[in-house]
Amino acid sequence: MIKDITIGQYFIGNSILHRLDARMKIILTLAFIVSIFICKSFPALALMVVFTFAVVLISKVPVKMVLKSIKPIAIIVAFTSILNIFYVKGGTPLIDWKFIHITSNGVFTALFMAVRIVCLVVISSMLTYTTTPTMLTDAIEKLLSPLKIFKIPVSTLAMMMTLALRFIPTLIDEIDRITNAQKARGANLDDGNFIERIKALVPIIVPLFVSSIRRAYELADAMDCRCYTGGPGRTRMKQMKLHVRDFIALGVVALLIAGIIVLNIYFKAVLVR
Amino acid sequence: MPILCAKGVTHLYNKGTPSQSKAIYDINVEIEEGELVGLIGHTGSGKSTLVQHFNGILKPDEGQIIVDGKDIWEDKKATREARFKVGLCFQYPEYQLFEETVYKDISFGPKNMGLSEDEINKRVLLAAEYVGLKKELLEKSPFDLSGGEKRRAAIAGVIAMQPKVLILDEPTAGLDPKGRDKILDMIKSYRERTGSTVLLVSHSMEDVAKIATKVLVMNNSRVEMYGTVDEVYSHSEELRKIGLNIPQVSKVFELLKQNGCDLGSAYTVEKAAEIILRRGGVGV
């Protein structure tokens, strides 16, 4: 059951999206998220959806995996849609019965918000699908490096992130092992009410913490032995370089944002704020 | 009637994915009550996978596991019963300790069985005695014990359930020779005192020779041989082929035989010494 969790779910591939510079990908993803929130009319939204589809197609990540990333947020989407339908007023009334008042504006807003959230999640999951966790942390370190002026230890933070990601599979194995050992002593993890189930986790969590702390000490010693001193001045084996394709991607996203602004001006806004 | 029985048991890893592989394949084995079986095989031969089937931690993809005459996957109750009938102690069991005191940790299993306070108390004290844990250690935190003591405390946690079959997965891994002998002696005397069946997973031919009555050899996901220590260890050629080495002293005896001094066969240093001394008495 625990093996189904896919954090840092990288999908091996060699598409143009995989080869884009990770720094550029992060910036473009952020730009896309901003543009989602500036788009106000349906034609602009349609442009976003088309762009999202294009990105998925280019990445060659199976649609099934993309859908998997939407599944966890399905409840949130449904919840916000329902709230929007009932609470947004204005426009033509569609249903007006006792305490239920549904207006056209409510339905449009609900639809608009749902599409927005789905696009947002799909595009950000495309970032993790096409970028390895190490590339991501490297890129984050590079992008945050201006913060060094404020004495923020950026490279140490990046190292922490890399280590955290590296140990997720190890911890999952560890949980499996401890769970089996406690099951062998008759621990009952599947039955009982909510409180009982939480109590049943104690025999798993305590050994997990103990071994994690032990592991952390061992890792610190191992890093010491290899003369890791942290801080600035560490060089990388893989240098990040911007290629022509990165600038083309930048251009495409710039065009997208320009298109959205134009469409926002020429068409009526759906969202009334 | 055998106490443990595997009938055509097959277990697949990563079932349904392209990397599907057979962890164990068509295992047929019967273990009689009261035996001390040594299960040997090199890393990746399927030893640990097989023993995790005996108490229902893993479910076979094909075949049946029968404990004490009952199929353990017949219903939920049977599976839970198997957990207590077959006590499985995993590799590096000290990493399962979690309670505030050693006493409480050892009583975790019996508590899960729903026994009375009196019975639990009796079992904990008895189990601690079997593994040679001093009484004053019982009120300490398990995290304050030494490595060897932790391991013995964890084994006591399984023994306290008083299972009919005790399975130990590499109980001596990572211990120094003294700690190893202590554990092996403990297992031997536990079996002699309780008369229960013990399954000892190991890749040390020496350890198995010291205490086992029967040997089960696994290779490449299958059972390669099953028989008494003498039967199995006499096939030294086959054992070598699958990457297992017979004990050093047996090798010495083999070489002596090849050079015209047939002393019979010995698998432990003690036995070898006995043979040589006897021979010495009549004058070689």
CATH classification (class only), B4-246: alpha beta
C-alpha B199/C-alpha B201 separation (Å) is 6
Instruction: List pLDDT tens digits, range B8-28.
Output: 999 998 776 666 788 899 999
User: Measuring CA to CA, how many Å separate A151 from each of A94, A146, A162?
Assistant: 58, 10, 21
C-alpha A120/C-alpha A114 separation (Å) is 10
A246 and A115 share a domain? yes
Instruction: List pLDDT tens digits, range A59-102.
Output: 888 888 888 878 888 888 999 888 888 887 777 777 777 777 78
Q: Is residue A4 part of a domain?
A: no
Instruction: List pLDDT tens digits, range A178-230.
Output: 999 999 998 888 777 888 888 888 999 999 999 999 999 999 999 999 988 87
A72 and A29 share a domain? yes
C-alpha A29/C-alpha A140 separation (Å) is 13
A115 and A182 share a domain? no
* Cβ burial, residue B255 (10 Å; 0-12/13-18/19+): exposed
Contact yes or no for B88 and A184 at CB 8 A:
yes
- Domain of A191 in residue numbering reads as 159-230
Instruction: List pLDDT tens digits, range B92-103.
Output: 999 899 999 999
A121 and A215 share a domain? no
A121 and A179 share a domain? no
User: Measuring CA to CA, how many Å separate B203 from each of A122, B49, B167, B224, B275?
Assistant: 50, 15, 15, 14, 26
A201 and A132 share a domain? no
Q: Is residue A210 part of a domain?
A: yes
pLDDT band with cut points at 50, 70 and 90 for residue B284 = very low
- Indicate which of B112, B115, B169 best probes the interface with A, i.e. most A CBs within 10 Å of its own CB: B112
- Indicate which of A176, A185, A208 best probes the interface with B, i.e. most B CBs within 10 Å of its own CB: A185
A33 and A102 share a domain? yes
* Cβ burial, residue B281 (10 Å; 0-12/13-18/19+): exposed
* Residues of B at the A interface, defined by Cβ within 8 angstroms: 52, 55, 57, 80, 83-84, 87-90, 93, 95-98, 108-109, 112-113, 143, 157-158, 161
* Chain B CB contacts of A189 below 8 Å: none
> Does the pLDDT at position A145 exceed 90?
no
Contact yes or no for A181 and B96 at CB 8 A:
yes
Burial call B224-244: b when 16+ CB within 10 Å, e when fewer: bbbeebeebbbebeebeebeb
CA B76 to chain A, closest CA, distance in angstroms equals: 12
**Does residue B186 contact residue B148 with C-beta atoms inside 8 Å?**
no
Enter the ipTM.
Answer: 0.87
B149 Ramachandran zone, left/alpha/beta (phi>0; psi -120 to 50): alpha
C-alpha B174/C-alpha B177 separation (Å) is 9
Task: Give B93's contacts (C-beta < 8 A, 6+ positions apart).
Answer: A181, B151, B154, B155, B157, B158, B171
A15 and A54 share a domain? yes
C-alpha A51/C-alpha B114 separation (Å) is 61
Give the total number of structural domains in chain A. Answer: 2
Residue B76 has what pLDDT? 87
* Chain A CB contacts of B84 below 8 Å: 186
Q: Output DSSP code: residue B45.
A: S
C-alpha A133/C-alpha A137 separation (Å) is 6
Least confident of A24-38, A93-107, B186-200, B232-246: A93-107
Average model confidence (pLDDT) across chain B: 90
- The torsion angles phi and psi of A59, rounded to 5 degrees, stand at -70, -20
> Does the pLDDT at position A5 exceed 70?
no
> Does the pLDDT at position A32 exceed 60?
yes
Higher per-residue pLDDT: B31 or A233 = B31
B162 Ramachandran zone, left/alpha/beta (phi>0; psi -120 to 50): left
* Chain A CB contacts of B158 below 8 Å: 184-185
A249 and A197 share a domain? no
Residue A197 CA from chain centroid, whole number: 30
* Chain B CB contacts of A207 below 8 Å: 95-98
Instruction: List pLDDT tens digits, range A160-184.
Output: 888 888 888 888 889 999 999 999 9
A164 and A181 share a domain? yes
Proportion of chain B above pLDDT 90, given as a percent: 61
Q: Domain coordinates of chain B in residue numbers?
A: 4-246
Residue A147 has what pLDDT? 86
* Dihedral sign (CA B174, B178, B179, B182): positive
Residue A8 has what pLDDT? 53
* Chain B CB contacts of A203 below 8 Å: 96, 98, 108
Residue showing tokens 């068509």: B26
* Cβ burial, residue A245 (10 Å; 0-12/13-18/19+): middle
C-alpha A236/C-alpha A159 separation (Å) is 12
* Chain A CB contacts of B51 below 8 Å: none
Residue A69 has what pLDDT? 79
3-state SS assignment for residue A97: strand
A273 and A141 share a domain? yes
Instruction: List pLDDT tens digits, range B220-268.
Output: 999 999 999 888 988 888 888 888 888 888 888 888 888 888 888 888 8
**Does residue B87 contact residue B131 with C-beta atoms inside 8 Å?**
no
Instruction: List pLDDT tens digits, range B148-176.
Output: 899 999 999 999 999 999 999 999 988 88
Task: Give A16's contacts (C-beta < 8 A, 6+ positions apart).
Answer: A58, A245
CA B143 to chain A, closest CA, distance in angstroms equals: 9
A27 and A58 share a domain? yes
Q: Is residue A3 part of a domain?
A: no
Residue A1 has what pLDDT? 41
Average pLDDT over residues B191-216: 91
Average pLDDT over residues B70-92: 91
Q: Is residue A85 part of a domain?
A: yes
Contact yes or no for B98 and A211 at CB 8 A:
no
* Chain B contact present for A187, CB below 8 A: yes
Q: Is residue A222 part of a domain?
A: yes
Contact yes or no for A184 and B55 at CB 8 A:
yes
Contact yes or no for A186 and B98 at CB 8 A:
no
